[in-house]
Each structure stands twice: as structure tokens, then as C-alpha cells.
Structure 1
Amino acid sequence: MSRIRVGIIKEGKIPVDRRVPLTPKKCVEALQEFPGLEIWKQPSDICCFSDAEFAELGIPVQQDMSQCDVLLGVKEVPIAQLIPGKTYFFFSHTIKKQPHNAKLLRAILDRHITLIDYETLTNRQGQRLVAFGRYAGIVGAYNGILTYGKKWGLYDLKPAYLCHEMEDMQEEYFKVKLPPIKIAVTGGGRVAGGAMEVLDKMGIRKVSVFDYLYKQFAEPVYAQLRSGDYNSRPDVEVWDSPDFYANPHLYRSTFRKFTRVTDLLLACAFWDPRAPRLFTEEETRQPDFKINTIADITCDINGSIPLTTCATTIPEPAFDYNPETGEREPAYSRPENITVTAVDNLPCELPRNASRDFARQLIDHVFPHLFNGDAEGVLERGTIAKAGKLTPRYSYLQDYADSVAGEK
């Protein structure tokens, strides 16, 4: 395709999402880098960048997207807004057979839409090319520090969603005055990396896992915990990462040693439902269970953190878990409770920064494949549906799509 017209669509999902896949300045950059590219922007009164900001940089603001070859969104597109025969990029949340999106996939097939999901765009090694994970980690860690300070009356931070940009949020870092607590960060991907960015900029020192477990400090510290630090296979002595990811059901959690020394847990690790949970509700009732604040940044419902039974909202991000009763209570009810924050759309709290970061990834890692004939198969691997059919890689979704066939 020598010339491609890309349309940036208005987000239609409720609750609203203010992010955008391409920011005004990144549109200009993309146009300069790819001479065969043309970009239109659909008007939006919810986008974190105004229509005027696009128009001022020469990006046409156009309601009718039917003349575009490729349509870019962020969240799921409402079925009523899907244009037949088009190629769409967005997070469809269908590849795990999420029940609430079966009708969306059915409509995509019925309307002969080509669906390329950002989550399925990978390189040859299977590594994802675009994601909002870094900003989930950044906002999630900030929320965790905010929640800890509020729980113990140490300081009062402005919520991230009330900050215009990340720079405004970073001004709040100077208010943070922590006692010599220990903070555990699980995971090794984008989310954990974003969380550690915040802790580093707050001046919280990173220590080794050994020192974290066995030494005392006169200052707040954190440690990054990888899967091998808190999982073991009873019949194998040496840690084997490939085996853990292939057979997580054969492992047991050894996180108990961390619950005895950790005050604040920032959960950033991807969790496979076949893998053990970090700890059990019963363990929270043990006298030496020290964790009192948890930021479940990955927000897997009934997942690695057993206390996360539902997601919280950006305006009301926290709740208390009473270990004695096993019940949820209002946030900050009792010091003895465990205070949990579990927001599932964290990047939305800093939409302008998160959008810039995502747009950078799109330009660097996805757009080239629109113009080089997809030489590396990136778009092919990421295509879930095309011409009314599921692609072979995603044929396992057929029963999922058929489960709502004929429904209105």
C-alpha cells in the first residue's frame, strides 16, 4: 500500500478513556517519517488533547472516517460505531475469551473487519511491541505511596488524575517522608520498570533481595522480586524460568518469607492463573504478616493477590481488608486492616504522558510494517480477524464468537 490514510477515532467506551494512540506532535513526526502517510482525527470532547491542538499542527479534524484505510483507537470500539470492511487497531480484550466482548468479536467477523490488537503485536521472539505498562507502573507506584501516607497520616499527595501532566505529579514527590519501611516490587517487565522509576525519583534506595530479607535499614528501601525469588518447584532444586512459565501449576509460593518483612507491596508481575498466589487469606491472619498496604497494579481479579476481588475506581481507589473477618471495609477504617488499591485503568490517570509514550512505540515499532509489506510478519501475527474469518493463530476463538451468533 503506497499511501495509507489513518484515522484516529473518538473513544466510545463507557467509562470514558481520555487517552489517544497518536498525540498531535507525534502525528507530525509520523507524517515526516512516512511520506505515504495521511492522518485524520475524529472530533472528540473527551480526548486529553483538544481538537484545536491537532488542527493547529495541520491534522484534519474530520467526523466521517469512512474514507480512512486504517482506524486507530485505544479501548474496545462500540459495536454500533464499527465501520464494515475497515482495518482497526485497538485493545479488543478478546484473546482470553472475555465474556463481555464476545458480541464485539462476532460483529467484527460479521462486518468483515480486519482486527489487529495491540496486545498481539509482537516481534519474532514473542515480545510485545506496544503497551501502556510503563505508565500503569508509574501511576500504580505513586498510588501505593499515596495510600501508605494517607493510611498512617504521614503526608497528603494530590491524586495523579488531578495532575495535568506527570511533571505536576513529580512535584508531589517532595512531600513524601517515609519511615524506614521495606517496599517489595514484584515483576520484571514494563510495569515493574515504571514503578521503580517512581521509587528511584523519590530517593528510595534499591537493595538486594538478600539484604531486604535479612538486614535492617535506617531509611526506606525497596527490592525487586522476580518469579524465582518467591516460587519453587518441590521436586527441582535449581530455578528454571522456562519451566516455570511452561508449568506454573507445578510450583508453590515461597512468598511467606517476604510477608514477614514487607510493609508496602507493589504487585507488578504478570500472573498466570495456573500459578500459585503470592499468599492466602489465612496467612494474612498470622501474627507475623507485616504487609499493611498493597498496590495491586496488575489488578488481576481473584488473582495473585487474593484480597483483590474487584477493581477500584480512579476517584475511589482504595479499600480496607479486615483480616479478622475476611470482609472489605471502607478505606482507612482501622490501622489493623490491610489497605488495598486496585485500579484497573491506571494509565488513564496521566493520559497525556501515557499517550505520548504509546505513540512513540507505535511510530518506532508498528508503522514501519504498514509500509514495508510487513516483511517481519508483525501485522500478520497481530491480526485476529480478516475478511469475516478468524486467522489460524486465533482460530481457538471460534466457539467464543459463535456463542453469541444470532444475538442482537
Structure 2
Amino acid sequence: MIRHIGIRREDKNRWERRVPLIPEDVGRLVTNHGLQVTLQPSTVRIFPDSAYEKVGARIAEDLSPCDLVMGVKEMPPGFFRPGGMYLFFSHTIKGQKYNLPMLRKLVDLKCSLLDYERIVDEQGRRLVFFGRYAGLAGMIDTFWALGRRLAAQGLATPFQQVKMAHEYADLPAVRQAFAEIAAELRQTGLPPAVRPLVVGFTGYGNVSKGAQEIFDLLPHRTITPAELLSGHAGEASHELIKVVFREEHTVRPIDPGVAFDLSTFYAHPERFASAFRPYLDHLTVLVNCIYWSPRAPRLISLAEAQELWGQQRPARLQVIGDISCDIEGGIQFTLQETQPDNPVYVYDPDRHAITMGVEGHGPVVMAIANLPCELSAESSRAFSAALMPFLERIGHLDPRAALDDCQIPLPLKRAVLLWNGTFPPEYAFMQNYL
């Protein structure tokens, strides 16, 4: 049974200040559920050690006495102990190569791994996520990039006033800043050279909703993908244009005699090809929020990048906010992750190379992988609130018992990728990664 929870110190980079549980919720676990909670000391964590001590938690470097150790980001292979149980974002379910050594170590030590990403309901919808905050921060940073890209081309716009997400005190400060930008757009408008300024969103889940939440603070008009192709964006001198793309706009069946079917696409993405290319000629900004699988077609391939920007060709598309940030994935020229202090690069398709910053020929790519850390306090509060209903039942998880015999909520049971070193039947395919 789980009676002692540990929270590991985040150390992936200096920007990672998030926590899986805020002090108030740790206090509830201690006071109302009789659990012990120990945290490793941290000078980076968004909430100070003292806030956790005040609610009954211990601060100690050694987490070996803990029955379950939690974190946010991946944990290094050397941290695991034989038979341990861990809960974090492992980024292994798609066979991500950079995390396979960690996964092998967990198997070798006969550990149990629970992944927040797989705490899902019967329809597969995630119940515990940072996605909205990735969208919020990603849209802010994408506007930051757009302002600087256009300024580098000699075009003054209100977007030059946008700061990086982490430079704002909180979300109310963001909303106030964008209200001022909105007022300026209504008054002075956009330079003729960037009209219409069309922002496309791929996806419609939590990430996309967060990104659109920021976008919608500005004056805008929404059109359909079909209207975009038929020229309905118009002049749009004092407003932005928004287009949201769903799966039927981004892919098509390879067999021309087969109609598009969403369930078939998710079951057999290899039967589909990309259909997104025609829209790229009409976009100024692309905000990528889709879940991408290696079996699925790419949103933009290297060949399409060469067609758009190769040989110094001018292209309308200026900035790609790749919030999904799959390396060489849906956006094939997302070649590396960036950080909040150096957030963008320009991809040159002729050299298949990148240059940090906004200057140069080719698209500007924003590829920050840990966007919610720019809004660490607010994103941690929301995450902790979503996670608590499951942790309040975590005591019934017994590593000595068969997983099916553990009386825990089904969404939490679905999150078990590894049980005592063995993949449960629904995750048996992950054995092929090792």
C-alpha cells in the first residue's frame, strides 16, 4: 500500500519550476488521508520548501523510504531503485528514442511506472494535463516571435510590445497587455504588407483551446479552411483572421476512392497522406497543436519546406509556433527544442540548417518543449487540482498485488505503463521499443 509519497526535485533545466502538487494539496494528503509526503529540497521550485513544511511535509534529499515518487519531467536512469514506483511524464509511449535508456532501466529494476499522459477516461481523453497552459504560453511566445520577425523586415506592428510569457507577472497581466495591443490594432491597424494577417491553428484540444484563448483577446474574424482557399480573408486592415484546421483538412485517404473517416485515421494513420500544403500559401502564422504519431503523415515535410522557401523564394508564412514540438515530427524541420531565453530559430531549407533568432530566409520556428513552465504557478495549481482526486485513492495501489486487484480509479489504472517491470497487456507493444 502507498503510505509515503516523495516528490523529486526538477532539474532538467533552470526553467522547470513546476510541481505536481501545490502546498495546499500536500497538506490535504497529510491531514485528511494520513499520508507522509517528503520533498527533495529545491531553490528553483515555484513554491518554497517552507510552504510545504508548514503543511506537514518533510524536506529531505533521500526519497528511498517513499512508496511512490512523483515528478513532472523525466527522471534520470540513475535515480531509480529496484522495485520502485514512479509517476511522471515519461514521454515513452511513442518510443521516443531519447528516453529509451530510462525505460530500459525501469524494466531491468522491475519498477512500476505511471504516466500522467495516460490518466484518461473511457474515450481516451486526458484528465490530468498542462496542455491549456502550453497553449497559453505558446501563443504568447508566437506573437513575440511574430513581432520581432516583422520588425526585422522593417515592419512596425503592435506585436513588438509582446513579451515572452515568463516575463509577465501572471495571466491577468497578460490579458491587460493584450487589451492594450488590441486597442492599438483597432486604432492604427496593420501595415499593408502583412494584410491579411492569417493565423492557422491545427488541432482543437486543450492545447489549441489555450492558444486560441490568447489569440481571441485581439480583434479578429474567424473563417473556415474552405473560405481561406477561396479568398474570404479579405483586406482585414484592423483585425486578424483565424482558421482552425481539423483532421479532415490536414490529411486525406491515400486511396482516392475512400472517403475520409476520423476513426479510420486514428486506427490506421498510415493509410493517409498529408493534405495541408494548399493552405500554407495563405497563412502568416501557423500554431501547431496536434498530437502526432510516427505512423501519421507530416503536417509539413522537408520537401514542402523546400518548395515554399527554397532558392530564396518569398513565402507568406512567417512564423510557426510548434507547440506540439515533436522533433522531426509533424513539422519535419523542427530539428531541436528551444528554451525561453533563446526561443526561436530560422530554418533554411537550402542548407537544412537553423540559425537562432528571427533573421534569415525561411520560417521562424518556436519550439519550446516545456512551455507551461513559463506560467509555473498557475499551471501547477491547475495540474494539482486535476490530480488530487486520483491521489486521494492512491493508498489502494499495492505493488505486491496484481494490478487488476488494486482498488484504484480506472483512469489511474490506465496510466500504469509498467508494473513490477512488466508491461500490462494494453502496453505490451512498448516491449518492441527495447
- TM-score band, normalised by the shorter chain? 0.7 to 0.9
The one of 333, 344, 366 aligned to 1:307: 333
Partner of 1:405: none
Question: What displacement does 1:147 show?
Answer: 0.7
Amino acid at match of 1:222: K
Instruction: Indicate the larger mover: 313-322 or 200-209.
Output: 200-209
Question: What displacement does 1:241 show?
Answer: 0.5
Tell me whether 1:345 sits opposite 2:370 in the alignment.
Answer: yes
Percentage identity across aligned positions? 32
Q: TM (normalized to structure 1)?
A: 0.87
Distance 1:39 1:397, change over 3 A: same
RMSD: 2.8
Distance 1:111 1:322, change over 3 A: closer
Question: What displacement does 1:89 show?
Answer: 0.5
Q: Deviations over 1:4-40 (max 9, x none)?
A: 33222212445662211001123235556x5344433
Tell me whether 1:241 sits opposite 2:262 in the alignment.
Answer: yes
State how many pairs are aligned.
Answer: 398
Structure 1 distance, partners of 2:7, 2:370, is 20
Matches of residues 255-266 of structure 1 in structure 2 within 5 Å?
Answer: 255-266=276-287
Amino acid at match of 1:260: D
Instruction: Indicate the larger mover: 19-28 or 118-127.
Output: 118-127
Q: Deviations over 1:196-237 (max 9, x none)?
A: 111123344433334444311341121211111232224246
Structure 2 distance, partners of 1:48, 1:133, is 19
Structure 1 distance, partners of 2:78, 2:285, is 44
The one of 177, 181, 193 aligned to 2:209: 193
Instruction: Indicate the larger mover: 94-103 or 217-226.
Output: 94-103
Distance 1:16 1:181, change over 3 A: closer
SS where residue 418 of structure 2 aligns?
strand
Distance 1:250 1:381, change over 3 A: same
Structure 1 distance, partners of 2:348, 2:227, is 30
Question: What displacement does 1:243 show?
Answer: 1.2
Contact 1:157 1:175 in 2 (8 A): no
Structure 1 distance, partners of 2:358, 2:86, is 43
Amino acid at match of 1:192: S
Question: What displacement does 1:161 show?
Answer: 2.3
Structure 2 distance, partners of 1:37, 1:317, is 40
Matches of residues 5-154 of structure 1 in structure 2 within 5 Å?
Answer: 5-14=4-13, 17-30=16-29, 35-153=33-151, 154=157
Unaligned runs of 5+ in 1: 402-408
Contact 1:187 1:226 in 2 (8 A): yes
Amino acid at match of 2:296: A
SS where residue 152 of structure 1 aligns?
helix
Structure 2 distance, partners of 1:273, 1:139, is 26
Unaligned runs of 5+ in 2: 152-156, 191-195, 398-405
Question: What displacement does 1:134 show?
Answer: 1.5
Q: TM (normalized to structure 2)?
A: 0.82
Contact 2:33 2:392 in 1 (8 A): no
Partner of 2:306: 282
Amino acid at match of 1:200: D
Tell me whether 1:360 sits opposite 2:385 in the alignment.
Answer: yes
